[in-house]
Structure 1
Amino acid sequence: MNTIQANSYNELQKLLAKKVTKLFLFVAVALPVLTKLLVNKLFIIDWMALPAENINLTLLDLFVSLLLPLFIFIAATDLFTGEGERGTLFQVRPISRIELFLSKLLSIGGLVLVQLLLVWLFMLISSALFDKTFDFVAIASSLGAYLVSWVPLMVIVALAVLIALVINSSVLAISGMIVLYLAMVFIPYMVPNILYMLPTAYLDWYMHWLGDVSFRWIIQTVTYLCSAVVLFLSAGYYMFNRKEA
């Protein structure tokens, strides 16, 4: 466990050293503040009519459905496909492949969680400063929505890692991830029956927790998400373990 923790920190440092990671972190901080400034200090009529909570959830939806999946695709491509191309995928120091695989996965998932918390924190701060009707009671529910959103995003992480290990070209890997993601988003419009068979259908999972939640629904969705993560990670590790050092 100590090895995984230490190597996860190492993989995290690799990602943090990338300019694109710093850009995503900056957007997670700046976008909530800029949005609140525009809504509350400038006369934007269409937005002014919306309750503050709706604006907050709209921003969460933007990150969960667009920005964070894009970050996941870039990070997975860099840590797996990119290092495979550079010949640095397997480290010289003694560490098992399962530990290396899990540490890379945890570093991506950890940064996704950090970005979610940054968006929530700066949304909270900017709401307290600029929203005239800011409700402190909503803090707990808003935090819950952001934390719950991390679960389906981990399915996207597992799928992205699998694709990054199947394709040996960084350009093709990230292109394939984006095309597959867009296909999963738009195909249900043509074939509605397959909607809940796709992991993208659960990216708005937090919305279902804001109303009355049935126990049956919880069991079904948690079972699906956990099964998808296990399936993608098992296939991903199989591909990872087959690669030559």
Structure 2
Amino acid sequence: MDYGYDYIYEYNYDYPVSHGNGGDAAVTILLTVYLVVLALILAFALASYIFHSIGLYTIGKRMGREHAWLAFIPFARDYFHGELAGEIPLKNKSIKNPGIWKLVLPIIYGAVAGVLFVFLFVAAIGAGAASSLSGNQMGGIMAFSTTLIALYIVILVFAVVYSAVYSVLRILIDIQIYEKFTTRNMAVVHSVLSGIIPLYEAICFFVMRNKPFNPGMEPQLTPPPVPPVYPGNKTE
């Protein structure tokens, strides 16, 4: 029996429109590249540390230096590196204990840079606050910004001077060591390249560790003590 009703059911579903996952893919690629680069940097640094330490250790042992194992200890290896060079003669003076200087210079730089930063930053805040309290807001901002710029310039100049001094010291140390195994000119070339090219110094020490010393550059090794001879002992 038909009552005139027409039942028609329609079902409509709204599915989310996918616009692709390009953003996620880009993030994944960037993260992968970052991890690969980080892994390469770490592997590079580890290889440099190992080659450099083995080279210093072997050269130190051949030169009769005690505590050659310092070549494998962070920070202590910087001291040992400088001590292998010995006293460095200059025109009118000489650098005694270059290992101590090589170890202490970065500490001095860090301490002085930290003090400069704190002092100048406090001075910048003080200059800005003084101008603001006088009712000149714009003057306070300008004073603070100017002092910060001065802070940046002072620290930058100090960093450049430190970098130059440390690089020269490192080159002089390397020259002293390299010329025990090669000519003076090649020692200078190797030392300059060691300060420019990463891993170069480590490879040089590793390659030269077993090379014969140049004539006149042989280390003066202390002979072992002679056992005492007592009266009545027979020697064969």
Higher helix share: 1
- Select the structure with the greater relative contact order (CA < 8 A; seq sep ≥ 6): 1
